Chain A
Amino acid sequence: MKAWQAFGAALALGLAGCGPTIVPDVRSLLSRAAIDGYGAPLLFVEVPDQALAASLIVEEIRDGTETWRTADRQTISLQEGLLVATRGLGNDVMSADVSGTRAALAGGPRTQYARFASFLDGDDRTVFRSLLCNMAPPRPDTVESFSLAFPVSLHVETCATTGLVIENRYWTDPDGTMRRSQQWAGPALGMLYIERISRE
């Protein structure tokens, strides 16, 4: 918990907002020195449609699923950087199957693979979104992150379902670590912008 205090205001801003308010510029409250000073992995997550932004720390890792949390205990769960669940965001991703995307990023089949996510409807019943996706071949790119430039590969994934086409983007380090991503988190949350801001 002391880590949060070190970040002061930047973290206190948290994920409090909702509705069409202006995203507080949490990013400008962070600096490379503060990030490095924290000494443990940090994520920076933005949800533009919900006007939310926060930095997250690792809560727990179990069986390849990393769960990261904000100061207010809102969480996102990632498998190799791919979003499989959110909690506490109001209209959460309850679960997801991203095995197709994971395989495509690892050099497996890049066309016509499926991606699934489940949500709750207003009556607490499970509803699904199933998407059919294609991954473009990776191309070299650079991620600028708080005064550092990371050489990365950019993978662009296009997924479609009835009445909806989305584009997810993944920037991976040479060792495969997800440096930055833009991932669709359902019709209510929209896109999640996830960035690993710590060096490791």
Chain B
Amino acid sequence: MWRTGLIGGLFFAWAGGVLAQGLNSYGVQGLVDMPTALPLPDGELTFSTSHFVNQTRQTLTFQIAPRLTGSFRYAQLFDISPRDDGVIREFLYDRSFSLQYLIAPESDRFPAVAVGLNDIIGTGVYSSEYLVATRTLSDTVRVTAGIGWGRLAGVGAFDNPLGFLGSGFDVRPDRFDGVDTGGLLRTNNWFRGPAALFAGLEWRPTPDWTVVAEYSSDAYPYESPYIFERRSPLNFGLRYQLTDRVTLGAQYLYGSEIGLQVSYQVNPSRPRFTTGLEPAPPLVRSVEDAPVMSAEDAQGPLAAQLEAEGLTLHGYQTGPGWVRVEVENIRWRQAAQAVGRTARVLTRTMPADVARFEIVLVERGLAQSLTEVTRSDLEETEFALDGAWAMQARADIRAPEDRLAPVEGLFPRFDWSVAPYLTPSLFDPDNPLRADLGLSFGVTYEPAPGIILSGLLRQPVIGNLDESTRASDSILPRVRSDAWLYDKAAPALTRLTAAWYFQPGQDLYGRVTAGLLEPMFAGLSTELMWYPAGSRLALGAELNHVVQRDYDQMFDFRDYQVTTGHLSAYWDMGQGYTAQLDVGRYLAGDWGATLSLDRRFDNGWVVGAFATLTDVPFRDFGEGSFDKGIRLVVPIDWMTGEPYRETAGLVIRPILRDGGARLSVDGRLYDLLRPAGGAELADGWGRFWR
């Protein structure tokens, strides 16, 4: 649990008078085209679109850590000459990653200094590196100066000052040297070749308006004179803060062109409603007012009152002075809130002699954690200053040793749902944004705890996913690159499975899933996980044998079969950062490993990146060289303020190909156990009394 100091602790940053950090046309902190050194607020996520003559750049930028900024950019470029050789490319869709790191924050004497890398793994037209310093002169004026390499050394270039490090720094290797598929880390270019200086100024005359001016060291070698005439190194920009999240910008570039920009900034740490809009919880009832009835008779009212709080009673057992309940959390994103509301309901329903409550969270037949609290502690801390902390200190969180029999009448259970869905498909060169909007119909049948039969049928209503005609050119088994063919299925039976969840031993969890596992594969999936309560480390093993499904996503299959599986380690590094390493065999039969790094906000947001390297040669993999991408998870309740457990997720891959592809099976154990495990319970404990 993270706590700020009791005295003078920082609450929300007050709307300050300080000049906010704006975004440049590349969607990173900067001026017009040039970067600045100051980072964005920690955790800030920005989406930016800018346009000027034949060039549109969409950028997603994330302040990964207080000093580290990462961006993914998708540029649509028309009629430029990407090698500056006069050969015009009708269009070029350029995907690139960039990073900026704050070396030194601004101090009384020294400016902020940052180093940046643009297009770190590409052969893209934006490849460059820079060192930049920014100084705040007043609340409304900031100045910036820097030195750039690569593309940022186009104007007024001089010999590389890093030349003393070795003659290799004197000349910048050609972007395309020894590369034919892109997507590799191109460290041999970094800080090589001539360098040049750039500088600029930000001024905020009124709270909503910002004026920027810069001397750009970018000569636009691939764009000028092919698509515009670059007449001057001076650029000017005007920004208008429309709302606290939306900024509009206009620029006058290179003495000849007008540019436009829209930026959207959101900070996962700043929901509109920090404590949500859900109704107040039931109040703790004094033991003196406890209902007079036997513990057996109390089960009925307990189940009813829990149900009203979005909690389903699965197990109930009482003994001398204690009660144990097994509860499934239907509604609450933060497990601690589910535990807190259960505890409150228990004070209202248990007879006076029940002094001790054991609350077990269960899901899909698995016990996720046990929290033990006493009635007197609940009474004492409900209205105490920082009662959540007082309660956390007195609660005992551990793994449940044994399980209760399911309450009568709960099983078999049947449930169904109808919900809208949206599936976007990004970066198809023919149409960079495709999407389907439709209805999904789900059914679930649970004959007994831990045994789940479920199906999901999707019927697209509107959309253009089925219009794609980009046939795969992959020379690997087409385990993912035929996705465009699967997208034509309507309706599509995306999933029809039988799953069994079990706990084979202390801290061990198991899953067996069989059936139509995902849109493209069917078969058998098995998983075993070691995950002690409260542990920051979990280990898993997964073994699957699958056959490729036919494109119509019904009950036909193709010839391709594969045995795939991974050994996985999940590590919660603290401070909200988690890492996952998967080593094993992928769908195309390739062997390798995936590293995923996530920043998980305690409010449910996840912003992460992953990369997979396998024994498929880069040339055989095709464009992009290896699988990599970014993922975003946005909790629905963060957006609406209404209590809701579900999240919206998006995975952005520059390109989806067949190497390094994992089976996508529903209900993997880590995702099931982590949210209600001891560590998460502790991190979210602030919501216990909410």
Q: A residues touching B (Cβ–Cβ < 8 Å)?
A: 59-60, 62-63, 65, 67, 69, 72-75, 77, 79, 84-85, 87-92, 94-97, 116, 118-130, 161-164, 186-188
Distance of A64 from chain B, by nearest CB (Å): 9
A39 to B267, CA, bound (A): 48
Q: Which residues of B contact A73 (CB under 8 A)?
A: 279-280
Q: Which residues of B contact A91 (CB under 8 A)?
A: 273-275
Q: Which residues of A contact B334 (CB under 8 A)?
A: 124
Contact A126 B3 (CB under 8 A): yes
Contact B279 A161 (CB under 8 A): no
Q: Mind listing 26 A-B residue pairs with CB under 8 Å?
A: A63-B379, A63-B383, A74-B280, A79-B383, A88-B277, A90-B274, A90-B277, A92-B274, A92-B275, A94-B386, A94-B686, A119-B275, A122-B267, A124-B683, A124-B687, A125-B602, A125-B686, A126-B1, A126-B3, A127-B4, A127-B9, A128-B6, A128-B7, A129-B9, A161-B8, A187-B11
Contact B281 A87 (CB under 8 A): yes
Contact A126 B269 (CB under 8 A): no
**Residue of B with least CB distance to A75:** B280
Contact A90 B641 (CB under 8 A): yes
Distance of A130 from chain B, by nearest CB (Å): 5
The listed residue (A122, A161, A164) touching B269 by CB distance below 8 A is: A122
**Residue of B with least CB distance to A69:** B280
Cβ-based interface call for B137 (8 A): no
Distance of A30 from chain B, by nearest CB (Å): 22
**Most chain A CB neighbours (cut-off 10 Å) among B4, B278, B285, B386:** B386
Contact A120 B283 (CB under 8 A): no
Cβ-based interface call for B384 (8 A): yes
A73 to B268, CA, bound (A): 28
Q: Which residues of B contact A59 (CB under 8 A)?
A: 283
Cβ-based interface call for B684 (8 A): yes
Instruction: Give the secondary structure class of B's interface.
Output: loop
Q: Which residues of B contact A127 (CB under 8 A)?
A: 3-4, 9-11
Contact B275 A65 (CB under 8 A): no
Q: Which residues of A contact B1 (CB under 8 A)?
A: 125-126
Cβ-based interface call for B388 (8 A): yes
Q: Which residues of B contact A84 (CB under 8 A)?
A: 383
In the complex, per-residue mask of B305-335: 1 if CB is within 8 Å of any chain A CB, else 0: 0000000000000000000000000000010
Cβ-based interface call for B603 (8 A): yes
Distance of A131 from chain B, by nearest CB (Å): 10
**Residue of A with least CB distance to B276:** A90
A164 to B389, CA, bound (A): 26
A68 to B461, CA, bound (A): 47
**Residue of B with least CB distance to A65:** B383
Cβ-based interface call for B109 (8 A): no
A163 to B9, CA, bound (A): 12
Cβ-based interface call for B131 (8 A): no
The listed residue (B10, B270, B383) touching A85 by CB distance below 8 A is: B383
A186 to B273, CA, bound (A): 13
Contact B280 A94 (CB under 8 A): no
Contact B388 A94 (CB under 8 A): yes
Cβ-based interface call for B186 (8 A): no
Given contacts A92-B690, A95-B384, A124-B687, A130 and B275 within 8 Å (CB-CB): no
A123 to B3, CA, bound (A): 11
The listed residue (A87, A97, A116, A126) touching B388 by CB distance below 8 A is: A126
**Most chain A CB neighbours (cut-off 10 Å) among B270, B277, B278:** B277
The listed residue (A72, A90, A95, A128) touching B4 by CB distance below 8 A is: A128
**Residue of A with least CB distance to B2:** A125
The listed residue (A90, A97, A162) touching B275 by CB distance below 8 A is: A90
Instruction: Give the secondary structure class of A's interface.
Output: strand
A90 to B388, CA, bound (A): 18
Beta-carbon contacts under 8 Å, B503-535 to A: none
Given contacts A90-B273, A91-B274, A124 and B9 within 8 Å (CB-CB): no
Q: Which residues of B contact A162 (CB under 8 A)?
A: 8
**Residue of A with least CB distance to B281:** A87
**Residue of B with least CB distance to A161:** B8
Besides the contacts A91-B273, A188-B12, what 15 more A-B pairs have beta carbons closer than 8 Å?
A74-B280, A90-B276, A91-B274, A92-B275, A94-B386, A96-B385, A116-B6, A119-B275, A120-B274, A120-B275, A123-B602, A125-B602, A162-B8, A187-B12, A188-B274
Q: Which residues of A contact B269 (CB under 8 A)?
A: 121-123
Q: Which residues of B contact A186 (CB under 8 A)?
A: 11
Contact A123 B2 (CB under 8 A): yes
A52 to B283, CA, bound (A): 23
Given contacts A92-B690, A120-B687, A124-B684, A87 and B385 within 8 Å (CB-CB): no
Contact B690 A87 (CB under 8 A): yes
**Most chain A CB neighbours (cut-off 10 Å) among B268, B334, B382, B687:** B382
**Residue of A with least CB distance to B384:** A95
Given contacts A128-B4, A187-B14, A95 and B268 within 8 Å (CB-CB): no
A79 to B384, CA, bound (A): 11
A186 to B271, CA, bound (A): 16
Cβ-based interface call for B387 (8 A): yes
Distance of B244 from chain A, by nearest CB (Å): 13
Cβ-based interface call for B689 (8 A): yes
Contact B8 A72 (CB under 8 A): no
Q: Which residues of B contact A116 (CB under 8 A)?
A: 6, 385
Q: Which residues of B contact A89 (CB under 8 A)?
A: 275
Distance of A63 from chain B, by nearest CB (Å): 7
Contact B379 A124 (CB under 8 A): no
Contact A62 B286 (CB under 8 A): yes
Closest 8 interchain pairs by CB? Answer: A87-B280, A73-B279, A90-B273, A75-B280, A97-B385, A123-B602, A92-B275, A122-B269
Q: Which residues of B contact A187 (CB under 8 A)?
A: 11-12, 14
Contact A62 B284 (CB under 8 A): yes
Given contacts A62-B283, A90-B276, A130 and B7 within 8 Å (CB-CB): yes
A75 to B344, CA, bound (A): 15
A182 to B280, CA, bound (A): 22
**Residue of B with least CB distance to A123:** B602
A124 to B269, CA, bound (A): 9
A73 to B643, CA, bound (A): 14
Q: Which residues of B contact A95 (CB under 8 A)?
A: 383-388, 689
A127 to B268, CA, bound (A): 17
Cβ-based interface call for B445 (8 A): no
Q: Which residues of B contact A77 (CB under 8 A)?
A: 383
**Residue of A with least CB distance to B288:** A62
Cβ-based interface call for B502 (8 A): no
Q: Which residues of B contact A126 (CB under 8 A)?
A: 1, 3-4, 386, 388-389, 686
Q: Which residues of B contact A94 (CB under 8 A)?
A: 275, 386-388, 686, 689-690
Cβ-based interface call for B601 (8 A): yes
Given contacts A79-B383, A85-B383, A95-B689, A63 and B11 within 8 Å (CB-CB): no
Q: Which residues of B contact A63 (CB under 8 A)?
A: 286, 379, 383
The listed residue (A65, A118, A123) touching B603 by CB distance below 8 A is: A123
The listed residue (B6, B278, B601, B684) touching A88 by CB distance below 8 A is: B278
Q: Which residues of A contact B7 (CB under 8 A)?
A: 128, 130
**Most chain B CB neighbours (cut-off 10 Å) among A62, A79, A162:** A62
A75 to B5, CA, bound (A): 28
Distance of B239 from chain A, by nearest CB (Å): 24
In the complex, per-residue mask of B643-687: 1 if CB is within 8 Å of any chain A CB, else 0: 000000000000000000000000000000000000000011011
Q: Which residues of A contact B687 (CB under 8 A)?
A: 120, 124
A150 to B382, CA, bound (A): 33
Q: Which residues of B contact A88 (CB under 8 A)?
A: 277-280
Contact A60 B283 (CB under 8 A): yes
Q: Which residues of B contact A125 (CB under 8 A)?
A: 1-4, 602, 686
The listed residue (B270, B283, B382, B686) touching A124 by CB distance below 8 A is: B686
Distance of B569 from chain A, by nearest CB (Å): 25
Contact A122 B385 (CB under 8 A): no
Distance of B175 from chain A, by nearest CB (Å): 41
Contact A122 B603 (CB under 8 A): yes
Distance of B278 from chain A, by nearest CB (Å): 7
Q: Which residues of B contact A130 (CB under 8 A)?
A: 6-9
